[in-house]
Amino acid sequence: MHSRRQPEARRQLHSRRTVLTAAAAAAAAAATTTAGTAYAAPAAPRGTHDRLRALISRMSLEEKVGQLFVMRVYGHSATAPDPADVEANRKEIGVANAAELIAKYHVGGIIYFSWAHNTRDPHQIADLSNGIQQAGAAQRVPVPLIIATDQEHGIVARIGAPATLFPGAMALAAGGSREDVETVGRIAGAELYAMGIRQDYAPDADVNVNPANPVIGVRSFGADPRAVARYVAAEVKGFQAAGVAATAKHFPGHGDTDTDSHVGLPYIHHTAEEWERLDAPPFKAAIAAGIDSIMTAHIVVPAFDKSEDPATLSRPILTGILRERLGYRGVVVTDSLGMEGVRKKYGDARVAVLALKAGVDQLLNPPDLQAAYNGVLTAVDKGEVPEPEIDEKLLRILTMKERRGLFANPYTSHRAVDRTVGTHKHLKTADRIADRTTTLLVNEGRLLPLSRRSTRRVLVVGADPAAPSGTGGPPTGVLARTLGELGFTTTALSTGTAPTQAQTDAAVAATAEHDAVVVATYNVTAGSSQRGLVQALLNTGKPVVQLAIRNPYDIAQLSGVKAALASYSWTDVELRAAARVIAGRREPKGRLPVPIMRADAKDKELYPIGHGLSY
């Protein structure tokens, strides 16, 4: 069933828009002055296009079509993955390993996932990247592959420690420094480059104006389009200065939906004028910054396409708006074609064809590669997709590869990894940036910072969502360990994101031997049992500090809390920073990048954009 807004939801949307009117108006003006120019990629060396066109002319149709695909593949090695990964590859792709995938389908790119066992450690990643490039060089027409991943940082990071992990987008926006954001892009890009990865599916350019958004949230820089545009441009500059293609996502804007496009088909009911004010500025800023690629969204925008096709398959959106109105001439890549949002109306073979007709260049991770590949070949044979259009798409992709140095040298080395990835300097920079992001929302009676004299024994309880790759364990453990290092005596007790009555009772009983409680909450809703846990802890009379470890909106559901903070993620770097604030070792410097609305009156602000207390 399509996700259509009901009348009450539409009224709430109108209220959120009213709150954001001033920011949106400023964003529209900023878009005209700072982001209204057409895409201008770095100048290619003289003769590059002629040379790339000559390369394309040597390819068969099958080779050209293969170059449009960016595909997953299981395994830590290009030629000798573990037996379980060989089995998974044969079942899903019909090949044993990455080298066979490249030889059979001539794919132009590979996407790395931790769940596909591509990202065990930096040396292994570099070796896998080199093996993939060797397979590309062994083709009849040698073409380097572009290797990509989703390394947004914060809650989306495919590569974990010992690589440097930074705060995510909303946390960085809370820190308020464009220089920090550009630094994150530059360092993260340098580390990816050292591991052979030349395209990152970041930054997220969505403007998160819907607190109920289940898929974007803290992946966005916030709810102010003007601020989001500034940070997107800064991160693009950082990534691309490091030699990595940045990717702004998810066009035309996934920030105002209450449906996850992984499992459904979201509708965005913005008018054309609202889209121009709320959603367009970050993409315009990315284009003005010279971004290499833009990722599509599997969302329906009726204001732009009455067919109700998702944007990924919409020519009015991708060609009419992105290419023609915004003047973008870089690479357009789909979001994963395995997501339900793009598979609802058409079969997998047809989806690939429609995406190309809409204006897409790269087809990302189709669930059935053979069906998609054959579907495109058939469409070209029948004249539905003219071969010259395939050539133009391929030219854009190859030009991006040229700009990122892949034709000059696609390889990396263990030495490059050792001198770049997870260095002491990078890790210190991550901590320094994180120290500017923790936001203090409430501090009645100056409960914070905790005193090591009066509140020395601290119980850390609460949510323990699955830890992002390469973290130090559940959030309660990381917080307790860091507070312990700062001089407190701590106990960690995980109660989960949906604590049972027994878990709540155990937490209450544990307070008897402690002077204060820190409770980590995770996306608290009106019906969440986390509310009961927090209230039960408050009823003990012990000082209670609440820390929102994902979306910052939890405090709206938690009456009676006298000390509340937001870390915007549960990764180690952000939790350690929050612990330093709780212990008084750092001042809380973060400011809300989104408004927090009242739970009992969703058209009224509890805390506005920019709210944040200091000690």
State pLDDT tens for residues 468-478: 555 677 999 99
The residues annotated with a catalytic role in the active site are 262, 335
Classify residue 429: in a domain, yes or no.
Answer: no
Same domain, 441 and 398: no
Pairing of strands 439-443, 563-566: antiparallel
Give the pLDDT of residue 256: 79
d(CA 48, CA 46): 6
As beta bridge partners, residue 563 has: 443
Report the percent of the chain where pLDDT is more than 70.
Answer: 91
Give the pLDDT of residue 14: 40
DSSP H or E run through 89: helix 83-92
CA 411 to chain centre: 26
Start-to-end CA span in the chain (Å) = 49
* Bond preceding residue 203 cis, omega within 30 of 0: yes
Residue with tokens 């003289």: 46
Same domain, 50 and 148: yes
Report the percent of the chain where pLDDT is more than 90.
Answer: 83
Same domain, 12 and 65: yes
Over residues 113-125, the pLDDT tens digits come to 999 999 999 999 9
The mean pLDDT value for 137-145 works out to 97
Question: Six-digit token pair at 477?
Answer: 């453990």
CA 103 to chain centre: 31
Same domain, 131 and 157: yes
Contacts of 283 by beta carbon, 8 Å cutoff, 6+ apart: 205, 248, 251, 252, 253, 294, 322, 326
285-305 burial, b at 16+ Cβ within 10 Å, e below that, comes to: bbbbbbbbbbbbbbbbbeebb
Classify residue 547: in a domain, yes or no.
Answer: yes
- Is pLDDT above 70 for 374? yes
Give the pLDDT of residue 471: 66
Is-contact 557 525, C-beta < 8 A? yes
Contacts of 23 by beta carbon, 8 Å cutoff, 6+ apart: 223, 224, 225, 226, 227, 609
Number of domains in the chain: 2
Give the pLDDT of residue 263: 66
Confidence of residue 268 (pLDDT cuts 50, 70, 90): confident
Confidence of residue 48 (pLDDT cuts 50, 70, 90): confident
Of residues 265 and 271, the one with the higher pLDDT is 271
Over residues 80-94, the pLDDT tens digits come to 999 999 999 999 999
Strand segments (E) across 269-369:
293-296, 331-333, 363-364
Over residues 538-595, the pLDDT tens digits come to 999 999 999 999 999 999 999 999 999 999 999 999 999 999 999 999 999 999 999 9
Give the pLDDT of residue 468: 57
* Closest alpha carbon to 555 in 598, 590, 515, 512: 598
Confidence of residue 265 (pLDDT cuts 50, 70, 90): confident
d(CA 610, CA 91): 51
Give the pLDDT of residue 433: 98
Residue 273: exposure state from Cβ atoms within 10 A (0-12, 13-18, ≥19): exposed
d(CA 243, CA 198): 7
Instruction: For the chain, count helices (H), then strands (E).
Output: 23, 18
* Bond preceding residue 123 cis, omega within 30 of 0: no
Of residues 299 and 99, the one with the higher pLDDT is 99
Parent domain of 17: 7-418
DSSP 3-state of 527: coil
DSSP 3-state of 64: helix
Confidence of residue 262 (pLDDT cuts 50, 70, 90): confident
d(CA 289, CA 36): 11
The mean pLDDT value for 249-264 works out to 80
The CATH number of the domain holding residue 348 is 3.20.20.300
- Is pLDDT above 50 for 6? no
Same domain, 552 and 411: no
Classify residue 613: in a domain, yes or no.
Answer: no
The mean pLDDT value for 345-369 works out to 94
Classify residue 25: in a domain, yes or no.
Answer: yes
d(CA 84, CA 227): 46
Same domain, 472 and 597: yes
What is the DSSP secondary structure assignment for residue 110, as one 8-state letter? Answer: E
Residue 55: exposure state from Cβ atoms within 10 A (0-12, 13-18, ≥19): middle
Over residues 516-540, the pLDDT tens digits come to 999 999 999 999 999 999 999 999 9
Which region among 26-30, 90-94, 336-340 has the lowest average model confidence (pLDDT)? Answer: 26-30
Using only C-alpha atoms, the chain has a radius of gyration, in whole angstroms, of: 24
Same domain, 383 and 455: no
Classify residue 614: in a domain, yes or no.
Answer: no
* Closest alpha carbon to 253 in 591, 24, 525, 593: 24
- Is pLDDT above 90 for 202? yes
Same domain, 413 and 452: no
Residue with tokens 């974990």: 160
- Is pLDDT above 80 for 1? no
- Is pLDDT above 70 for 260? no
Classify residue 582: in a domain, yes or no.
Answer: yes
Question: Six-digit token pair at 59?
Answer: 């390819």
d(CA 129, CA 202): 20
CA distances (Å), origin 81, targets 127, 132, 137, 249, 417: 12, 13, 20, 31, 21
Classify residue 166: in a domain, yes or no.
Answer: yes
Residue ranges of alpha helices (H) inside 247-339 are 272-278, 280-288, 315
The mean pLDDT value for 398-424 works out to 97
Classify residue 26: in a domain, yes or no.
Answer: yes
Residue ranges of alpha helices (H) inside 196-311 are 225-241, 272-278, 280-288
The mean pLDDT value for 301-320 works out to 94
- Is pLDDT above 50 for 3? no
d(CA 244, CA 234): 14
The CATH number of the domain holding residue 525 is 3.40.50.1700
Helices 501-510, 529-539: axis angle to 10 degrees equals: 20
d(CA 91, CA 369): 12
Same domain, 386 and 439: no
Give the pLDDT of residue 266: 79
Confidence of residue 295 (pLDDT cuts 50, 70, 90): very high
Same domain, 404 and 518: no
- Is pLDDT above 60 for 204? yes
- Is pLDDT above 60 for 22? no
**From the CB of residue 501, how many other CB atoms can be counted at a distance below 10 Å?**
11
Is-contact 298 310, C-beta < 8 A? yes
CA 376 to chain centre: 29
Tell me the HSE value of 277 on the side-chain side, using a 13 A CA sphere: 15
d(CA 171, CA 567): 7
Same domain, 339 and 481: no
Same domain, 140 and 39: yes
Torsion of CA 65, 67, 68, 69, to 10 degrees: 110
Is-contact 334 40, C-beta < 8 A? no
DSSP 3-state of 167: coil
